[in-house]
Structure 1
Amino acid sequence: MNVAEAISVSSPLSVVRIEIDRLFGMYTYTLSKDTSSSDTASSIFILYGDNGSGKTTILQLLFHLLSPSRSREHRSFIAQVPFSRFAVSLAGGTQIIVSREEENLLGSFQIELQEKGRNPSRVKYKVDDERGISSLDRNLLKRLSELQLSVFLLGDDRVLKSDRFDSEEIEYEQLVLFSENQRLHPEMQRRMRISSQMANIDRDLALKTSIARTERWVREQALRGSNRGSASVHNLYEEIISRIIRSGEVVSADIPQSPQQLIEQLEAQADRSTKFSHFGLMSPLNIQKLISAVQKSNEATLPIIGHVLKPYLDSLSARLDALQDTQDLLTVFVSTINKFFNDKYVELEVRTGLQIKTKDGREIPSESLSSGEKQLLLLLCNTITARDKATIFIIDEPEISLNIKWQRQLIRALLDCTKGSPVQFIIATHSIELLAQYKSNVVKLEDRSNEISNGRRKATQT
């Protein structure tokens, strides 16, 4: 499948092709993703190659190139990696190309952004020893930001990096976390400032920040669903009055014709609300008084009660329907984590947040988790909160700190938590378990330097 064909069938902001020429002065790769599959696993792009072949460097280049922050760390990293050309193709037709002039492999470079229907944006980055790296790149970074693509990198150092961790968010959360854990003096808190550069936060703080973000996301989803599904009190009473007025004229087909039918409808909604109350998305319904009133109804009063309760049941059903996706996702999220944990478990509730507990119900801090448990929770928290926008998760050797059993389950867990969302995973791995399980998603790093040299030699001879 060529690039044009791949572009036509994949989600617009997923990476379908990576090209790099003369990486470290030695390797030339063309890495094309098979986009013909429409199953859930098609959102995975797995890179496999020998040690020293450049997998980690390619992942880092990809992260720094796609990240639009004005932080100079992104462009400085690119300047320090030896290569002549690096190009990334997105499925919607966008290409981002880094190139160097003549035989240069280090230092100054040009970035070109090509989008369908728009003029290319080109920026030259000049590097010198005294001034560092300089350019007029405001328009390019603006165009990159307009893609609205979130990019995360979990490197082999297990530090999660992303422009999403903007300085204001990190400053607030670090102040809160440090003040809770170390009781910093208020004046010290005010003096704390987070660097304007992209935050590289340590593992424990990264996990705390990700848990806090997950808790906020759950509350936002609950509020959004509740607002979507709740009819206003004014409209509800309008409907009740309208039905009472009509009740003497016509018997609606959707009004229960017996007390038992009405009781069954009430019990069905009550049972459904109980499931939603598990995560605090809504309180369980107490319908005993309503059922008692229905049981006391007679042939004359039942139609009136039915007309009064119908708008209430409809409004309740609409609210539950609006929260159903969130309920399903939280069920998958919590059950997935708890499948991995043996002697502990996770609870998630809108009001109390995410809690980690031992088998006897004692709450424990996230710092007490093992390195593998921390990595798993870090990944899943950030995948669930990334569902709302196009996101690329770049993960270098996810098998680090994970036992064989967890390696088998990891990718499926990530896919389950991002099902139906525009999230892509780009992974470099040596894990035989991952490679065997998702072999159709594996792209091997095969050096094309000799192939290209032979082609040029033949062209010269002719």
Structure 2
Amino acid sequence: MQMLDINTASPPLSVVRIEVERLFGRYTYSLVKKDNNPHIDSSLIILYGDNGSGKTTILKLLFHLLSTDRQRGHLTFLAKTNFAKFSVFMADGTSIIASRNNDHLIGSFQLKLFQKNHLISHSEVTADNENHVKNIHKNLQDYEFFRNFLKMRLSLFFLGDERVLNSDIFANREEVKDEQRFKQIVLSRMGDFLEEKPSLNREWTLRTSIHRTEEWIRDQALRGANQGEANVHNIYEEIITRILQTSGSLVEEELSQSPEMLISELKAHEDRSKDFSSFGLMSPLDTQKIVNLLKSNTKTDALIISRVLKPYLDSVSARFDALQDTQNLLTIFETTINELFFRDKYIRLHVRDGLKIFTDEGKELSPETLSSGEKQLLLLFCNTLTARDKATIFIIDEPEISLNIKWQRQLIRALLELTKGSQIQFILATHSIELLSRYNNNVVKLVNMEK
């Protein structure tokens, strides 16, 4: 099996090539970006092809092959889909292959997991007469290895044309606290994939996504606070040491720590804290009393105060640095939605209050009152924000659905900006001229190799 040269700058589990043989018995594709220039963003692949060429089915096969929850019908979808072989090649040298022997295009199949051409897992997946997969009796240990290998390393989201965001994370029982609500969701999920009740699932996934976003923000704030305060004991040790070192005379070098410089540093910290306090990441700093003390005392006293105060300022600066990435992301998240997408309404993020939606008049809105396009955007942005800590693939079928031309132009750029520096990849299928022309280097055209 010939593998692609791996671009080391790519996310470790990003898709670099998809191959499918005899899809529906008639289509064979090798899907790889036409230009592997490392300067072209590897976090975006756009599939383009004629109606009926199999774009949507390829996206679904990708989602089900890489998803691992045994209760959600992933293997059954593969068993019910007509293909001879479906292969996914990742940037780290991993490849996952589902294939059938002889001339069979439906039903039972084999699952193989390779790392750099070495077979590390091989499972036989057996379907019944109706092409349902209920249990795997043979090679169960290999299949569990396959599941755990992917589950620990990769998360998947699929947004289909019914505008329901699907992911195994939404199958987590702990995400739903209301028992009756959980029963409704379980009932709604009976049946095969994409035969669920869209309205119920859309509401639930949106609420769940908002809840996960709120928890993510609180976790980030707590981590930053812990990092900023982890050295409190050391700070007091340094303060005591500085006090003891201060004698009746101050060495000439101390004069570089002038009261004026300290006042400037205090004011800079106060101004910087406002950006963090707007999201509740920390309380705003009020330095005026300390500034007044520095101004009203003698120069010698002010220098003594500066020796005591400097460790505290260093700790505040460390906390700023610990929270800076989170503050940047929340700013991008909030301003992108408010300035580029939402009209006559806006969102606010806060550690204490969570994610709230308001009208221009300040009246709070329920997420259910949003339009279908607004719900779709909020779903995507919430889940891209919370997915940054793990390799994640968002598979989106026709993202232009429910979006006007202006939003189509801005959507992908905004998602890529929010996920910059993460291990998140977007794989889309579209007919939108706006998306195809703007990201031409990321487009992969479906060309049938059977002809």
**TM exceeding 0.5:** yes
1:171 to 167, 172, 176: 176
Offset at 1:143? 3.1
Offset at 1:35? 6.5
Pair 1:295–1:405, CA change in 2 (3 A): same
Pair 1:130–1:25, CA change in 2 (3 A): closer
Partner Cα separation in structure 1 for residue 273 and residue 126 of structure 2? 61
Partner Cα separation in structure 1 for residue 251 and residue 392 of structure 2? 52
Q: Unaligned 5+ residue runs, structure 2?
A: none
* Aligned residue identity for 1:50: D
Q: Which residue of 1 aligns with 2:24?
A: 24
Partner Cα separation in structure 2 for residue 439 and residue 192 of structure 1? 43
* Aligned residue identity for 1:64: H
Q: Which residue of 1 aligns with 2:358?
A: 357
In the TM superposition, what whole-angstrom CA distance separates every residue of 1:76-121 from its partner, at most 9, and x where no partner exists?
Answer: 0000001111111011111111111100011111111111386431
Offset at 1:367? 1.1
Offset at 1:343? 0.7
Q: Unaligned 5+ residue runs, structure 1?
A: 176-187, 451-462
Pair 1:40–1:239, CA change in 2 (3 A): farther
Residues 85, 99 of structure 1: 8 Å contact kept? yes
Partner Cα separation in structure 2 for residue 257 and residue 94 of structure 1? 56
Residues 97, 112 of structure 1: 8 Å contact kept? yes
In the TM superposition, what whole-angstrom CA distance separates every residue of 1:24-82 from its partner, at most 9, and x where no partner exists?
Answer: 11111110135734457331010000110100000000000001222250000000001
* Aligned residue identity for 1:54: G
Using the size of structure 2 for normalisation, the TM-score is 0.91
1:161 to 159, 162, 166: 166
Partner Cα separation in structure 2 for residue 252 and residue 193 of structure 1? 72
Q: Which residue of 2 aligns with 1:219?
A: 218
Residues 99, 110 of structure 1: 8 Å contact kept? yes
The SS at the match of 1:355 is: strand
Partner Cα separation in structure 1 for residue 100 and residue 415 of structure 2? 37
Q: Which residue of 1 aligns with 2:148?
A: 145
Matched, 1:287 2:290: no
Pair 1:131–1:161, CA change in 2 (3 A): closer
Matched, 1:342 2:347: no
Partner Cα separation in structure 2 for residue 171 and residue 284 of structure 1? 34
* Aligned residue identity for 2:4: A
The SS at the match of 1:88 is: strand
Partner Cα separation in structure 1 for residue 449 and residue 131 of structure 2? 36
Offset at 1:250? 5.9
Residues 208, 366 of structure 1: 8 Å contact kept? yes
* Number of residue pairs matched by the alignment: 436
| Percent pairwise identity | 55
Residues 256, 306 of structure 1: 8 Å contact kept? no
Offset at 1:396? 0.4
Pair 1:131–1:232, CA change in 2 (3 A): same
Residues 45, 427 of structure 1: 8 Å contact kept? yes
Residues 18, 31 of structure 1: 8 Å contact kept? yes
Q: Which residue of 2 aligns with 1:456?
A: none
Partner Cα separation in structure 1 for residue 226 and residue 282 of structure 2? 12
Residues 255, 306 of structure 1: 8 Å contact kept? no
Q: Which residue of 2 aligns with 1:209?
A: 208
Q: Which residue of 1 aligns with 2:367?
A: 366
The SS at the match of 2:410 is: helix
Pair 1:109–1:447, CA change in 2 (3 A): same
The SS at the match of 1:165 is: helix
